[in-house]
């Protein structure tokens, strides 16, 4: 990198901080955490996708496809269940939560069940999200180590300081608008890397001539995931439905965007756009990884620059070696800014839950000035904690993006089950829901710590089923102790549900045909 690249990075980071300054005036928690519910659905759509498809995906998805042992285009299987998950979210879940007028989705659980239910799931969220956020910081530190030559400690400190200032000042509006800008830039960056990779290797014909055929497989129909992380089609669909429905619908870091939408119409448009746009974006990342990974495996000197068993270094090393001066700075800063926007969003959501929990424990909501003070202090506190955790976040899974999803899979199923129990089953009591949640999480933790060969994507479904069954059985013996049952709200028609299910089927068909299509394209 040259002085031009560093200058671009400095200017851009200053602009990111300026965005926080522009939106620093918030008068209430609704302004700070939900953007005053004035954000448009196209902006929210970009923000929602940026949280999952920014720096983490830019680094780890290509690394999984190109270099990870057992990887390849099978990564596309992650996207197969999303349309069905969106149908579940829009059928009752998110419209009901939006209509409840809450700042934190866990407020709904206190209204429906009890304070103990709210605090229990709030604790689960804060535990899982803080670890996932730490992994995000670790991922960005890889970029800075690989491109700027910084140590891990210095990388994390730079990321942490910028993110803490940005998130404490700007609130949800700064986060969402920053995400929207960065999503556009990161897509352009991925396309640029794909072009540079094809140019370096000599075109698509050379890629197909040298690629491992196993990396072209995008759907594994030969395994059900009973004996290892082989990304079998069944766990990717059934586990994926639970994972995505819980992540987008019950995880405060994502659901907060849905709560920020102006109305149910905008909420519906936002999630439908996500359902149809995520696969093409992920396909771009995966194709980039296939090309660059094939190039790396053909260049021993390039491969030597990537530490053993750390495929996430592939993209930073490629950027430095193959992109021209100036473009390196633009791409590095786009990745950093996008990831830091995602991090600030996570910190913002953690602060929202923490402050709302504090208000519940004190049985009184403070005035707006005091509330805003608590919100900013909570944000800084969570930021410092995640910085500490990020120092130890590199040993959970072969790639960073797998580590994040693995942690989430412990909790996503039980959490989704509790929300759906509250919305769909009026007979379920707080004690039943709490017991089901606890047992669902404990079973998944046991599967993890015991070294079970079961593919961890199944944990989502297992935790969901256990929580549902236990809660429903207990409710037959313990009367519902909730006096106020909140009305559920229907968000989409049967026709829209059918359209989403068909789109999911189309994605499965595409993934099954990809190897043949690629080989035919090469022959032609």
Please determine, for residue 187, whether its predicted confidence score (pLDDT) is greater than 70. Answer: yes
Q: Is 202 helix (H, G, I), strand (E, B) or coil?
A: coil
Cβ atoms of residues 126 and 354 within 8 Å: yes
Cα 36 from Cα 260, distance rounded (Å): 7
User: What band does 393 get if pLDDT is binned at 50, 70 and 90?
Assistant: low
Beta bridge partners of 232: 220
Please determine, for residue 523, whether its predicted confidence score (pLDDT) is greater than 60. Answer: no
Q: 441-445: which pairs have CB atoms within 8 A and are 24 or more residues apart?
A: 441/124, 441/410, 441/411, 441/414, 444/409, 444/410, 444/411, 444/413, 444/414, 445/410
Please determine, for residue 192, whether its predicted confidence score (pLDDT) is greater than 80. Answer: yes
pLDDT of residue 376: 76
Q: Which residue has the higher pLDDT, 83 or 144?
A: 83
User: What band does 489 get if pLDDT is binned at 50, 70 and 90?
Assistant: confident
pLDDT digits (tens, 9 = 90+) for 17-61: 776 676 666 666 566 677 667 778 888 888 888 776 666 677 788
Give mean pLDDT, residues 100-104. 79
Q: Is 182 helix (H, G, I), strand (E, B) or coil?
A: helix
User: What band does 79 get if pLDDT is binned at 50, 70 and 90?
Assistant: very high
Half-sphere exposure of 138 (CA within 13 A, CB side): 25
pTM here is 0.84
Please determine, for residue 383, whether its predicted confidence score (pLDDT) is greater than 80. Answer: no
Alpha-carbon distances, residue 287 vs 196, 198, 203 (angstroms)? 13, 10, 13
Please determine, for residue 301, whether its predicted confidence score (pLDDT) is greater than 60. Answer: yes
Cα 279 from Cα 282, distance rounded (Å): 5
Beta bridge partners of 220: 232
User: What band does 177 get if pLDDT is binned at 50, 70 and 90?
Assistant: confident
pLDDT of residue 402: 65
Give mean pLDDT, residues 367-383. 77
Cβ atoms of residues 318 and 292 within 8 Å: yes
Q: Is 232 helix (H, G, I), strand (E, B) or coil?
A: strand
Lowest mean pLDDT across 273-287, 349-363, 505-519: 349-363
Q: Encode burial over 108-138: b for 16+ CB neighbours within 10 A, e otherwise.
A: bbbbbbbbebbbbbbebbbebbbbbbbbbbb
Give mean pLDDT, residues 154-180. 70
Q: Which residue has the higher pLDDT, 105 or 290?
A: 290
Q: Which residue has the higher pLDDT, 172 or 234?
A: 234
Within 472-518, strands assigned E span none
pLDDT of residue 512: 93
| Mean of per-residue pLDDT scores for the chain | 81
pLDDT of residue 12: 74
Cβ atoms of residues 383 and 164 within 8 Å: yes
Cα 273 from Cα 257, distance rounded (Å): 14
Cα 233 from Cα 230, distance rounded (Å): 9
pLDDT of residue 319: 86
Q: Which residue has the higher pLDDT, 375 or 96?
A: 96
User: What band does 110 get if pLDDT is binned at 50, 70 and 90?
Assistant: confident
Burial (0-12, 13-18, 19+ Cβ within 10 Å), 271 = buried
pLDDT digits (tens, 9 = 90+) for 407-417: 788 889 999 99
Half-sphere exposure of 521 (CA within 13 A, CB side): 13
Q: What domains are defined for the chain?
A: 40-219+226-514 (1.20.1730.10)
Residue 83 main-chain phi, psi, to 5 deg: -60, -40
């Amino acid at each position: 990198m040259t002085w031009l690249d560093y200058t671009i990075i400095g200017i851009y980071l200053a602009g990111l901080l300026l965005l926080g300054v522009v939106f620093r005036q918030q008068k209430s928690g609704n302004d700070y955490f939900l953007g005053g519910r004035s954000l448009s659905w196209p902006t929210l759509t970009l923000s929602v996708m940026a949280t999952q498809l920014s720096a983490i995906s830019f680094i780890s998805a290509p690394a999984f496809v190109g270099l990870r042992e057992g990887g390849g285009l099978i990564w596309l299987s992650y996207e197969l269940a999303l349309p069905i998950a969106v149908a579940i979210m829009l059928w009752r879940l998110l419209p009901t939560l939006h209509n409840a007028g809450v700042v934190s989705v866990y407020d709904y659980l206190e209204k429906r069940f009890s304070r103990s239910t709210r605090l229990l799931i709030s604790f689960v969220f804060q535990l899982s999200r803080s670890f996932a956020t730490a992994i995000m910081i670790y991922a960005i530190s890889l970029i800075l180590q690989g491109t700027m030559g910084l140590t891990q400690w210095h990388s994390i400190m730079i990321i942490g300081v910028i993110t803490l200032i940005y998130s404490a000042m700007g609130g949800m509006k700064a986060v969402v608008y920053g995400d929207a800008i960065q999503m556009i830039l990161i897509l352009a960056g991925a396309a640029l890397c794909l072009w540079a990779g094809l140019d370096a290797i000599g075109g698509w014909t050379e890629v197909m001539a040298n690629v491992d055929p196993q990396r072209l497989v995008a759907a594994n129909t030969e395994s059900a995931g009973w004996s290892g992380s082989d990304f079998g089609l069944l766990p990717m669909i059934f586990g994926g439905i639970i994972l995505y429905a819980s992540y987008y619908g019950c995880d405060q870091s994502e659901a907060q965007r849905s709560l920020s939408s102006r109305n149910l119409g905008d909420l519906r448009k936002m999630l439908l756009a996500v359902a149809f746009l995520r696969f093409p974006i992920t396909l771009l990342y995966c194709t980039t990884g296939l090309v660059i990974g094939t190039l790396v495996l053909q260049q021993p000197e390039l491969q030597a620059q990537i530490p053993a068993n750390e495929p996430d270094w592939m993209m930073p090393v490629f950027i430095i070696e193959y992109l021209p001066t100036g473009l390196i700075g633009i791409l590095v800063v786009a990745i950093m800014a996008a990831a830091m926007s995602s991090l600030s969003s996570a910190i913002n959501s953690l602060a929202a839950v923490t402050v709302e929990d504090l208000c519940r424990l004190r049985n009184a909501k403070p005035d707006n000035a005091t509330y805003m003070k608590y919100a900013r202090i909570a944000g800084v506190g969570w930021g410092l904690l995640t910085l500490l955790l990020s120092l130890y976040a590199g040993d959970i899974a072969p790639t960073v993006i797998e580590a994040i999803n693995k942690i989430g899979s412990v909790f996503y199923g039980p959490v989704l089950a509790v929300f759906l129990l509250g919305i769909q089953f009026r007979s379920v009591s707080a004690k039943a829901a709490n017991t089901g949640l606890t047992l669902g999480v404990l079973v998944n933790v046991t599967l993890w710590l015991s070294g079970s060969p079961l593919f961890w994507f199944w944990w989502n479904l297992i935790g969901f089923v256990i929580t549902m069954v236990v809660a429903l059985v207990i409710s037959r013996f313990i009367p519902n102790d909730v006096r106020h049952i909140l009305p559920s709200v229907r968000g989409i028609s049967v026709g829209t549900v059918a359209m989403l299910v068909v789109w999911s089927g189309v994605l499965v068909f595409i993934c099954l045909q990809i190897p043949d299509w690629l080989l035919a394209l090469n022959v032609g």
